Chains A and B, each alone.
Chain A
Amino acid sequence: MQPFSLGDALKILSEVKDAEPIAGGTNLMVDMRAGTHRPRVVVDVAALRDLHGIEVTDTEVIIGAATTIAEMLASPILAKHAPVLVSACSSFANPLIRNRATVGGNLVTAAPCSDTAPALLTLDAEVKLASVRGMRRVPLEKFLVSAFSTIRRSDELLVSVRFRIPSATATSAFRKMGLRKVSCMAKVDVAVMLDGDATGRCTSARIAIAAASPAAVRARAAEAALVGKMLIPEAIAAAASLTAKAATPRAGSEYKLRVVEALARRLLAEAALAIERGGSNA
């Protein structure tokens, strides 16, 4: 079905049984073809104006759920305020997929190897869910429950993702480890965002990992261990080791613990160096 407005779309989702939103189709088309997912009705939300565009206010950046990965990659707003997300988008699948896949679809699908999720987690992003019953805003960290599982109810539509503009001195880094340079699913994603004062002391740390646990997660213990410390190699190594403790890879993939630790150490070092050089949000 092709609703003309957000209201129509929400009405269909609430009234029609087994209705599923579709935007870029890069996950749903594959699942439908494989027969693993058979919605009775698909609701095209890609064309809904309310779900498009990237806006910036004095304090926040708001991304419509149907914004494509390619649009985010080309966004001057994100380049300025969220290079970590742009970096995640640049490693996302390939250009043909990026022209269709949307940020909302990537989050709602909740694949463990989502590339946008870890970047958005370091931005402390929040998702907005709409239904005929109303709106609710949920931290992304709470939204992602487990592999392919979120707290979205079947009549709800993810309409936007928002995050506070990071401080001007904050720096960030993202790295994806996959089997190839492009067109691959992440084996491990790590994203970090650091902030520090003039003395080199860490004032804020956010670290997120994906593909190394059922859902993308923040490494809270590692973050807590960094805040208040000088960003020296010892502190970074300790935080990287705690980051690996947040990972719960599947049996047989224990190698990912070492990859998470190594990537976390490298990215934290990069972000710390960028702070030293005056916070260019690397």
Chain B
Amino acid sequence: MPKKKTVLRVNGRQHELALDPNVSLLQALRDLGYTDVKNGCEIGECGACAVLLNGAAVNSCMVLAWQANGAEIVTNAGLGTLDRPHPIQEAFADAGAVQCGYCTPGMVISTKALLDRNPNPSEAEIREALSGNLCRCTGYAQIIEAVGVAARSLREAGEASRMGQRATDGSRSPSNSPGADQGVRRGGERR
């Protein structure tokens, strides 16, 4: 089977690849070193491999890599770094929403997709939005709480920036600018 030329734009970086046509987006991302995208079930049940594909949260195991040709892909690591965590990531850490951490990147991605369209979700809306992400450690309570905390801090950051105070609160900027992933350590081989 001939390789398929595919351009993946991940967290603002462009990768030109020649891939077997049956490679999933999940596999391609992990092979590129984006190991924050977790391989859980590979059958669309667990949500650990969730990424934003043109702004929508999807299971990357359900997408053929070449179907994502040219699309804008954002992974958990594209939202923030250890030094400059995204408010969602900060809230997950603060609320104790992370235990083994395997589901966390997917949870963060589903949270980002939710808060992008609904900045002030009810608990029911949070539960609904995260219903495609399984966690086997926390019992979900802290995760739901973390999403609420993140929503509040993003709303406050939004208000602050509307009042022209962005400079004083840069670390809490809700933006997910390309290149925000700089400094993230990436393992895995690069093809």
- Residues of A at the B interface (CB closer than 8 Å) are 2, 22, 24-26, 29-30, 32-33, 42, 44, 46-47, 70, 93-97, 99-100, 181-183
Contacts and interface: CB of A to CB of B under 8 A. Distances in A.
Given A32-B22, A183-B131, A97 B64 contact: no
B44 A26 contact: yes
B133 A96 contact: yes
B50 A96 contact: yes
A24 B62 CA distance: 7
B135 interface: no
A25 B128 contact: no
Question: Which secondary structure dominates where chain A touches chain B?
Answer: loop
Contacts of A2: 66-67, 69
Contacts of A46: 67
B64 to A, nearest CB: 6
Please name the 3 residue pairs, one residue from A and one from B, whose CB atoms are nearest each other, closest first: A94-B132, A96-B132, A182-B131
Contact of A30 (B44, B47, B56, B132): B44
B32 interface: no
Given A2-B67, A96-B59, 11 more contacts: A2-B66, A29-B43, A29-B44, A30-B62, A44-B64, A44-B66, A96-B47, A96-B58, A97-B59, A99-B58, A100-B58
B90 interface: no
A99 B128 CA distance: 14
29 contacts: A2-B69, A22-B64, A24-B62, A25-B64, A26-B59, A29-B63, A30-B43, A33-B43, A42-B21, A44-B66, A44-B67, A46-B67, A70-B56, A93-B44, A94-B47, A94-B132, A95-B110, A95-B113, A95-B132, A96-B58, A96-B133, A97-B44, A99-B56, A100-B62, A100-B63, A182-B131, A182-B132, A183-B131, A183-B132
A96 B135 CA distance: 15
A22 B62 CA distance: 11
B57 A96 contact: yes
A97 B58 CA distance: 7
B64 A95 contact: no
Contacts of A30: 43-44, 62
Contacts of A26: 44, 59, 62
Contact of B131 (A32, A44, A95): A95
